[in-house]
Structure 1
């Protein structure tokens, strides 16, 4: 992927801080992998995993020492998105604000395009 594709995904300072906290307990070289899967209440869902391996096609989004990797297929569904971390009354979670999503459900990880 080109550098322009990498710029399409934004990682907020809060998300970067939380990713660094999580990765501090993981083996060196671990990164957060975000992918889009078919399914979920609205048609697609986000998956968050800790990855110890990367593939050449992965796009890396970095901020303040935190790294997120996204595969090229998922990147198409996430183009223009902002990855944030929220801590509110119902709990803590990563939140993806996706301008392509036409609907989402209350779980916060399911969306449709």
Structure 2
């Protein structure tokens, strides 16, 4: 598959590695895009055991992220980040393709 330039920030890699380490049956964070949400599409985050044959695997500092080919189309050029501030902790996708997003941080439109 062609390189779509999805990246993983240092803080996201550290958080993914910590979360996966707490569940010995899981080895990666799966990020997918689904229809729905406030703005038309939403990101879904799950722990997974292994990549599917057609997944793109992104690795950094011991962390592994799995993205399916359909979700990858919507995430081209994105950065997966982890935010820890006074408002709380969450994974966030900085997506240059999103023309609108929602206050929840997981919903967007293209």
TM-score (norm 1): 0.93
1:19 and 2:11 are equivalent in the alignment: no
For the residue of structure 2 that corresponds to 1:14, the secondary structure is helix
- Counterparts of 1:42-57 in structure 2, within 5 Å, are 42-57=39-54
* Structure 2 counterpart of 1:82: 79
1:61 and 2:46 are equivalent in the alignment: no
* Structure 2 counterpart of 1:102: 99
Q: Structure 1, residues 40-73: CA drift from partner, whole Å, max 9, x if none?
A: 0000000000011321100001101100000000
For the residue of structure 2 that corresponds to 1:19, the secondary structure is helix
**Total equivalences in the alignment:** 110
* Structure 2 counterpart of 1:38: 35
Q: Distance in 2 between matches of 1:49 and 1:29?
A: 10
- C-alpha RMSD over aligned residues: 1.1
TM-score (norm 2): 0.96
Runs of 5+ consecutive residues of structure 1 not aligned to the other structure: none
Q: CA deviation at 1:29?
A: 5.4
Name segments (4+ residues, structure 1) moved above 2 Å: none
For the residue of structure 2 that corresponds to 1:73, the secondary structure is helix
For the residue of structure 1 that corresponds to 2:92, the secondary structure is strand
